[in-house]
Structure 1
Amino acid sequence: MIVFDLKCANAHVFETWFGSSSDYETQRERGLLSCPLCGNAEIAKAVMAPAVPAKGNTRADTRPVPVAGGEDARIKQMLGALAEMQKSMIESSEYVGTRFAEEARAIHYGETDARGIYGETTADEAVQLRDEGIEAMPLLFPVRTGRTDA
């Protein structure tokens, strides 16, 4: 296996593993590579630092590396906004616990009044909901409901 830092036309850099250098070239030529951040398919190798093994008597620097260009602050701001959006959605929704799939179906098929709900479901039930055309998505952040009544 070989790891490359790749860069899209929008300057997003991401790490990807390939079986060999020729695997990378083949996938790039066939247009099979795309940026995981923006979907851009114009991909090239980014400049990489060589992987130099450390001496046995040295310790790696474990301090976090700051994100260039103040993106760290922007990311925190975006995550904060998403958390506020989720909080607002939860405050105006009903917790239905493990009955989520059942309640979502009842709303979708007009068997009960439409309302915002959130709860828990299995991955298989989530796939079945999607296959039935019922829109549902996981919450972005974990929620502690402290509820046992649903």
Structure 2
Amino acid sequence: MKVFDLHCPLDHVFEGWFGSEADFCNQMEKGLVQCPMCGSQQLRKGLSAPRLNFGAQAPARASTAPVAAGAAPPAHATSAEDRSKQQALQAAWLQASREIAQKSEDVGERFADEALRMHKGEEPQRPIRGQATPRQAMELLQEGVPVMPLALPQGSKETLQ
């Protein structure tokens, strides 16, 4: 099993698991691999550390050398912390977008019509999502229909394999 850290042009980082290097290349050629955050298929492999399981021992803790007051932390500590925060935000966004996708009906291009009919009481109220042009969205807002643009990543609409 090959596990790669993959990066999209927007620098979203995610893991991809593949049977082999050839499997990875084959899936990339077919356009089957995409960023779960933005849907980009323009991906590059980054460095990823191998995972070696030598038992159930706790990992060794990094030394915590004292830092002088006012001294800047080492650059590598800040970037690792930033990456950790970015990964946490990406995970939270994917979880939220999956929940939205699961709890709403995708009405596609009929969104503006469906939302207006619900607003006028012609349809029962229900959570919906779909596509609308900027003009349609403005018309809905002028009618008093509460709408919000929300770019759901493709990965939130289906299970990731």
What is the TM-score when the length of structure 1 is the normalising length?
0.47
What is the TM-score when the length of structure 2 is the normalising length?
0.44
